[in-house]
Chains A and B, each alone.
Chain A
Amino acid sequence: MAPIPSSQKKPLGNVMVIGGCGFLGHHIVAQLVESYNCKVSVIDIRTVRNRRDGVQYFDGDITSMESLLPIFQKTKPDVVIHTASPQLHGGSKELYRKVNVDGTRCVIEACQETNVKALVYTSSASVIHDNASDLINADERWPIIPAKSQTEYYSQTKAEAELLVLSANRSLTNPSLLTISIRPAGIFGEGDMQCLPPIMAVYANNQTDFQLGDNTNLFDFTYVGNVAHAHCLASLALLTTSTMKIKPLDTEKVDGEAFFITNDQPVYFWDFARAIWKACGSEKGTEHVWEISQDVGLMIGGILEWGMWVVGRAPKLTRRQVKYSCMIRYYDCGKAKRRLGYRPLTGLPEAIEQSVKFILEEQRVEREKKGQ
């Protein structure tokens, strides 16, 4: 994006990004600094990485009011963007509950006590997904998976937190706080630890000869820059709404609403993987690929899971991976386009190109460090 002259930059006042040193958070901070007229501060559990000039950093714990409130009182944010969350994998149930639910409750309370105008919450597209069924062109009318059917505890806590945030919109006790929830689908990009690195590892380990399923399943992968852009648009929309004297029409309403954010370019699952391998340097076509049906894949995955469990190692293929690579999972981001004016800034091809390049460079630096 070409730099925007400061006179044309839209004002956002004081913006607080919680989790602003994280993967998504630091992309949001970058866009705020570059494209908006605002004063940015960041709270994170540790603020040593992903820092940026001109931004005030605070070490803080969102699960503690004692830690949060003084920072809020000091920076007096107009907008709070809450992106802090543990990673999807590897956390304990207690951690997910503590950070996602209790932490979010604290953030809401801090917002209410310090007269914040707008709270933007990073939810997840997985709140409507049970990790097994297909999601075909799903939009905001799709129901949230209730706790008893949700097999992913992370998603369950994200859904609970989203409900807390949206219920706090124009609440009786604090009618001036407006809230919104952003549900990104499959984020990838520079600094990503969950989406691209495992796919790139498949190429690095020379395991690109397999395909699970028939590759007719469309999937959403969303570039982090576009997700960050959606957060900025959401902040702007809430601030604009807060200055209006009358309530907006139901068809234009943004406060108290959830929005799916995608790249608006669903692709066939294995095509995405192959595009990444291509960006890594692969020159192979599909002639060498061995197609394994979902049923066979599930069987192999099951055997590996049990076998590796016995010897105490991580299996190379899990049933969860098999299911994910065979399922249809894409969304319709039409609501965000209509009400937030959202359009993806970066298309998939360009996003993959630059993200893979970034990660490869990071890995090279890492290797050199180890070599020394």
Chain B
Amino acid sequence: MGLASQLLYYSVHPNQLRSILQWKLWHDPVHTRNPDKESPTLRECFKYLNLTSRSFSSVIQELNPELLVPVALFYLILRGLDTIEDDMTIPLENKEPHLRNFQNILEQDGWTYTENGPNEKDRELLVHFDVVVTEFKLVKPAYKAIIKDITDKMGNGMADYANNAEHNVNGVNTIKDYELYCHYVAGLVGDGLTRLFVEANLANQALLKRPELSESMGQFLQKTNIIRDIREDFDDKRRFWPKEIWSKHVTNFEDLFEPKNLQVALNCSSEMVLNSLKHADECLFYMAAIKDQSVFNFVAIPQAMAIATLELVFQNPEVFKKNVKITKGDACQLMMESSQNLKTVSEIFKRYVRRIHKKNNPKDPNFLEISIACGKVEQFIESIFPTQDPKALALLHKGEIAPEDARKKAESAEANKDVMYLMLAVFGTLLVISALMIGAAYLAGARFDVAVNELKKGKIFPKFDKGSEEAQGIAQQYDHGEL
């Protein structure tokens, strides 16, 4: 957008501008990293973090100092892995060993990789990967073990996919395959991060016993992105929407993009949205276990963006034409609301779920299922933040009042008292001033007796003689005069 069009946009969307300014001016990070105390190689690492990540770099840099470096390096390592996997110019026989061996590369001093094609956007990171290796070796052994384990699993998963000719030609087949793919690229990250949080004692240990929760965190983000990126991926000749879903609506994948098939394409995207929405309640459950504010912001902000994106793509014909994105203003608003607590994040989820429900149409083959999925999220939020209190209801039926209500009642009685005093003061002042004015008039010789007599005769409005014709003529002249 040019400057002029931006100005025009924000002049008709002042709320968007307000959110952006609020975020930029008032946002107060829980922690701020201090580059002065960092080694040159670590500063290099953060340079690459800013280069390679758009959405995560700022939340990572506000993390608790205990996890700041491990998480930043974890991100760079996975990004490095991804850059090898993604690059179609690298032959498979070169690619596969690197993918399968990446967890060992992490501790090879001076390791760099220069075989990426010139157009690979994150090429620079691998060219200078030695700085990541240097810093990785300084990380606490417990964190290092977790990062290596995830790198191992993800690298092997990616190598399996790279070897799978069927996947590369026809894309994802079943819903199970789709979820397995999302597990490798996102679920594993969720698993690794959770283990880091627990190891640093910044999240409840119970999360380790409920791996499906961290899995859902990753699945929800990944699936939502896959729905949003359908057009971009299609143009890049990649298909992540599982055939098991799209084949219910169209014969060939390409048909989704034909304008004449818009209705069935939307039905298909609804089913994809439904598939993603099913993780939403578990994401909220997961976030309830985070003990540290900076970690909470780190996990909650992407989730809030995901539910908003899911609402944006739901029943939106644009997704088949271009890459749709939530507006910058909305993103700032969401970041502000989600970097507070579980209650505010739940409010966001409820708000967007209601919007999805509002757009849901009986003509959609998955109409009722979507309604149920929305209801499930609402019910879950109600289970962690109940609106009704059975104890208060019980007291109410006994004719007593619950403490909460008693407090409210006392407050409102107090407020009534205040209003009474205020009125008293106002009328008192009026009375005094009136008395003073009448007194002054009396002293100046006002004939109240005449006024009272006139009123008794029923003459409420005084009448004055209009004066002679001549005098009126003169008066009229001056009515229109240029005095």
- Which A residues fall within an 8 A CB radius of B? 134-139, 141-143, 145-146, 149, 216, 218, 265-268, 271, 274-275, 277-278, 282-286, 330, 332, 347-349, 352
Contact = CB atoms under 8 A, between A and B. Distances in A.
A348 B386 contact: no
Contacts of B393: 142-143
Contacts of B378: 218, 266
Contacts of A330: 375, 379
Interface in B37-79: none
B390 interface: yes
Most buried by B among A134, A265, A284: A265
A283 B361 CA distance: 11
Interface stretch (B13-21, B241-249, B365-373): B365-373
A138 B369 contact: no
Best-buried of A134, A218, A277, A282 by chain B (most CB within 10 Å): A218
Contacts of B371: 267-268, 271, 275
B94 interface: no
Contact of B397 (A141, A149, A277, A285): A149
A286 B379 CA distance: 24
A366 B146 CA distance: 69
A136 to B, nearest CB: 5
Contact residues of B: prevailing secondary structure: helix
Contact of A136 (B361, B362, B376, B388): B388
B367 A274 contact: yes
27 contacts: A134-B388, A136-B386, A136-B387, A137-B383, A137-B386, A137-B387, A137-B388, A141-B390, A142-B388, A142-B393, A143-B393, A143-B397, A149-B397, A218-B375, A218-B378, A218-B379, A266-B379, A267-B372, A268-B374, A271-B371, A274-B362, A274-B367, A275-B367, A282-B362, A285-B362, A285-B363, A330-B375
A143 B390 contact: yes
Given A216-B354, A267-B371, A283-B363, A143 B394 contact: yes
Interface string B145-173: 00000000000000000000000000000
Contact of A348 (B360, B368, B387, B391): B368
A285 B266 CA distance: 14
B379 A275 contact: no
A275 B375 contact: no
A128 to B, nearest CB: 9
Nearest to B359: A286
Interface string B377-389: 0110011001110
A285 B375 CA distance: 20
A348 B371 CA distance: 11
A349 B369 contact: yes
A283 B388 CA distance: 38
A249 B362 CA distance: 47
Contacts of A149: 397
B363 A348 contact: no
Nearest to A219: B375
B383 to A, nearest CB: 6
Nearest to B386: A137
B346 to A, nearest CB: 13
Nearest to A334: B383
Given A143-B397, A271-B360, A271-B368, 12 more contacts: A134-B388, A136-B387, A136-B388, A137-B387, A139-B390, A218-B375, A218-B379, A265-B375, A268-B371, A268-B374, A330-B375, A347-B372
A265 B376 contact: yes
A138 B388 contact: yes
Nearest to A274: B362
Given A136-B382, A265-B376, A275 B363 contact: no
A284 B394 CA distance: 44
B33 interface: no
A268 B390 contact: no
A139 B382 CA distance: 12
Contacts of A265: 372, 375-376
A216 B382 CA distance: 14
Nearest to B362: A274
A286 B368 contact: no
Nearest to B382: A137
A145 B398 CA distance: 10
A103 B330 CA distance: 61
Contacts of B357: 216, 268, 271
Interface in B373-419: 374-376, 378-379, 382-383, 386-388, 390-391, 393-394, 397
Contact of B379 (A137, A282, A283): A137
Closest 7 interchain pairs by CB? A143-B394, A271-B371, A141-B390, A137-B382, A275-B368, A274-B362, A266-B375
Contact of B375 (A143, A268, A277): A268
Contacts of A216: 354, 357
Contacts of B383: 137, 332
Nearest to B373: A265
Contacts of B382: 136-137
Contacts of A138: 388, 390
Contacts of A218: 375, 378-379
Contacts of A282: 362
A325 to B, nearest CB: 15
Nearest to B374: A268
Nearest to B376: A265
Given A268-B371, A271-B368, A145 B397 contact: yes
Tell me which of B382, B383, B387 has the highest count of chain A C-beta atoms within 10 A of its own C-beta. Answer: B382
A176 to B, nearest CB: 32
Nearest to A145: B397
A350 to B, nearest CB: 10
Contacts of B374: 268
Given A136-B382, A143-B390, A216-B357, A348 B362 contact: no
